[in-house]
Amino acid sequence: MLRYKDGDIAAFEVLFTRYLGLKKYISFKLNIFDPEVADEVFQETWERIINARQRYEANASFRAYFETILRNVTASRYRKAVNKENLHLSGSQSSTDDSEDELLDGLVDEKDPGTENRSFITQCVDLLKKAIATLPDEQRESLLLKIESGISLEEIAAITGVNRETTKSRLRYGLNKLRDQVPRECYE
C-alpha cells in the first residue's frame, strides 16, 4: 500500500488481487446474500481506500486497515438493508433446546426430496451458513474477522472498538451458539 501511495500502480494490482476472494465474506458480514450488494460494498471500500491513500500510514497490517474501512461501509449498508426482503436467511434460528441428535436427524430429512442427493458436508456447510447468519452482529463480526482474515485478537479488538477480553467473550459466545446449531460431526 505504501508503494501504491507513492504512485506504483503495479503494487496496487498485487495488493488488489489478494482481496478478490472476499465476496463470500462480505455477504456473510452484511448478512445479505445478494451478489450485487457485495459487489457494491467491495467497490465502495476500495474507492475509499484509494481516495484516502495519501493519509495511509502503516501502523497496522493492511488487512486490519482494509477491515476498518470495510466495517464503515458495511455499517451504513447494514442499517439500510436490515429490513430488506433479500435477507434470505432471516428467521432460521434454531430453538435453543434442540438436541444434537435432532440436528443430526435433520441432516437426513427424508421429507426434503433433494436431501438424499446432498452430501453430508454440503448439509453441514448449510447449517454453518444459517448458524452464522443468526449470530448477533457483534459476535458474527468478530467470528468472521477471525476465521476469514486470520488477524490477531488485538487487531480485531482495535477494529471493533473493544478490548481484547471482550473480543474473546464475543468469540466464545458465538462459538457456543454455533455448537447448538452445527453438530460436532460436521467438524470431523
Partner 1 sequence: MNEQEKDDDLELELDRVSSLYQKIPDEEFSPEVRERIRATARRAVRRGLLERLLSGILGSATGAVTASSSRLQMVATASLFIAVAGLAGIFYVQSQSGVQPLLLTEEEERIPLLKDAEGILKDFNRISEMQPAKVVAESGQAELSEVVKELKDKKSTLSSAAKILEEKSRSKDSKNLLKAIDILDDQINQLEKTPNQ
Closest to 182 measured CA to CA, from 116, 110, 92: 92
Smallest distance, Å, CB 29 to partner 1?
Answer: 13
89 touching partner 1, by CB under 8 A: no
21 touching partner 1, by CB under 8 A: yes
23 touching partner 1, by CB under 8 A: yes
Cα 81 from Cα 140, distance rounded (Å): 17
Site for partner 1 in 120-139 (CB under 8 A): 121, 124-125, 128-129, 132
| Near partner 1 by CB under 8 A: residue from 32, 38, 135, 159 | 38
Cα 43 from Cα 72, distance rounded (Å): 13
86 touching partner 1, by CB under 8 A: no
Counting residues that bind partner 1 (by CB under 8 A) gives: 41
Amino acid at 51: N
What angle (nearest 5°) sits at the alpha carbon of residue 186, between those of residues 180 and 188?
A: 125
Give the three-class secondary structure for 46.
helix
Query: Is 83 or 111 the residue whose CB approaches partner 1 more closely?
Result: 83
88 touching partner 1, by CB under 8 A: no
